[in-house]
Amino acid sequence: MKIEDSIGLYGDIKLPDQAVDTPAFVILMDEVQHNLEKTIKAIGGVQRLIPHVKTHRAPWLVNYQIQHGVSAFKAATPREVEMVLDAGAPEVVWAYPTATPANIGRVMDAAKQHPHAKVVGLIDSAAGLAEWKNQLSRSPLLNVRLRVDLDPGMGRTGAPMSDAALELARSINEMERFDGWHLYDGHIKDPDRDIRIAKVAEIRDKVRGLVAAGLRETGCGDLIAGGSYSFELWPADEAARVSPGSWIFSSWEHQADLPHLGWQVGAYVLSSVVSAHDGTVTLDAGSKAISPDMPMPTRFVGGGVKIVAMKEEHSVVESHTLKVGDLVALVPRHACTTAYLYDKALVRTQSGEWQIRPQLGNER
Ligand SMILES: Cc1ncc(COP(=O)(O)O)c(C=O)c1O
């Protein structure tokens, strides 16, 4: 099977050897294994890795990582928390502070059904604290712990790194449920590693005093920090665990910005050429097949090929060589929001077989 050099070709990317409906989400397990090994090596041991499952949302990938020594995961939605616990993980951090009773209630229910697993919620507000307190007083589950979420300058969630955060830690400690701190510095995306190092160092300087004060008052100074652009820049004595997520499949973005980590493309969208015109071809993967959350020209790897247009079910790209019926492997710029569009994946196992495997798709 032939793919045009200029679209989606990273080395010898593996294409299915059987007829496949397109568009299809394809996962390559040799590459996932490679990425896991590189990620563990970058942080000095699997015990420091608490990977976010939002990227893949696949129960079998949780199992796979447990088999390779991962013992804790991060999740964003209640459905992801349920998936991680059902897959047998010993610990899940629900990295999504909220005060919404039904959402907290659903995670509490999952904790109740898995009494041997530790379930950790995040708090960044008095309202969130009050709701957790309320639900835990009615259902005092011993396996539920709470962390304070800190805003490292991203401006998304997290308490300011000040006395306000310490006050939340004190209150959680009074409930005897304080598990430490959480911080996601996903706003750091500079391709220049030295700039990333300097930005992470600034955050480390700010958080150090808070963690030390918390340790003095509560006896716990644990911090979970980092995403794929920063995890390797957090030293183990400051962030015991780090939480990248998109490393698992990597992406076009990582290939461009983080080459020193040596990750390989572990997932792509297989698409067919359905129509050819004068200098352009039309692919059967549009914005319902590849995430449209990036600027249009950068949504999937082009290697010089220009994306001319993207509609719901079609993309038009410049090409003089592709012809109707050709298959192309499109490497998304953002793997997480692309995987989410598929409730199953075509997986190339490490023994070279191709299997259809489930993932949550857009279940919340
Ligand atoms: C709270 C949190 N932690 C970890 C991650 C993983 O980061 P990355 O996608 O950079 O690997 C994310 C991603 O959005 C996140 O929101």
- The domain segmentation of the chain, as residue ranges, is 1-31+248-364, 50-243
- Name which of 160-174, 282-296, 298-312 the model is least confident about: 298-312
Residue nearest to atom 15 of ligand 1 (CA): 184
Q: Tell me: domain 50-243, CATH 3.20.20.10, correct?
A: yes
**Residue 332, CB half-sphere, CA atoms under 13 Å: how many?**
33
The pLDDT value recorded for residue 12 is 62
- Does position 32 have pLDDT exceeding 60, yes or no? yes
Residue 60 phi/psi, 5-degree rounding, is: -70, -25
Decide whether any atom of ligand 1 lies within 6 Å of the 105 Cβ. no
User: Quick check: CB of 74 below 6 Å from ligand 1?
Assistant: yes
Task: Detail the DSSP E strand segments found in the chain.
Answer: 24-28, 72-75, 91-94, 118-123, 144-150, 178-183, 223-225, 241-242, 267-276, 280-283, 307-310, 315-318, 327-330, 344-348, 354-358
Mutate to test the pocket of ligand 1, among 123, 223, 246, 293 (most ligand atoms within 8 A of CB): 246
Ligand 1 atom nearest to 336, measured from its CA: 9
- Contact (CB, 8 A) for 87 and 114: no
Span of 101-110, 199-208, 296-305 with lowest mean pLDDT: 296-305
The answer to whether 1-31+248-364 and 50-243 have equal CATH topology is no
pLDDT for the residue 117: 98
Q: Is 6 exposed, middle or buried (0-12, 13-18, 19+ CB in 10 A)?
A: middle
Q: Would you place residue 305 in the very low, low, confident or very high pLDDT band (cuts 50, 70, 90)?
A: low
- 54, 77, 252, 291: residue to mutate for ligand 1 pocket, most atoms within 8 A of CB: 54
> How close is the Cα of 336 to the center of ligand 1, in Å?
10
Report how far ligand 1's centroid is from the alpha carbon of 76 (Å). Answer: 9
Closest residue by Cα to atom 3, ligand 1, is 184
* Weakest mean pLDDT among 43-52, 118-127, 142-151, 288-297: 288-297
Query: Quick one: tokens of 35?
Result: 């990425």
Residues 221, 310: Cα–Cα separation, whole Å:
48
Ligand 1 atom closest to 96 (CA): 1
**pLDDT per residue as tens digits for the range 2-31:** 333 434 444 468 889 888 999 999 999 999
The Å distance, Cα 75 to ligand 1 centre, comes to 9
Distance CA 307, CA 249 (A): 22
Number of the ligand 1 atom closest to the C-alpha atom of 55:
9
Pairing of strands 307-310, 354-358: unpaired
Residue 212 has pLDDT above 90, yes or no: yes
CA of 165 to the centre of ligand 1 (A): 21
Digit-coded pLDDT (tens) for 214-241? 999 999 999 999 999 999 999 999 999 9
Closest C-alpha to 236, from 216, 222, 219: 222
What's the confidence (pLDDT) of residue 6? 37
186 lines ligand 1 (CB under 6 A): yes
> pTM of the predicted model, to two decimals?
0.95
Residue 79: count other Cβ atoms within 10 Å of its Cβ: 16
Q: Torsions phi, psi of 144, nearest 5? A: -100, 130
| Mean pLDDT within 340-353 | 97
CATH C-level class of 1-31+248-364:
mainly beta
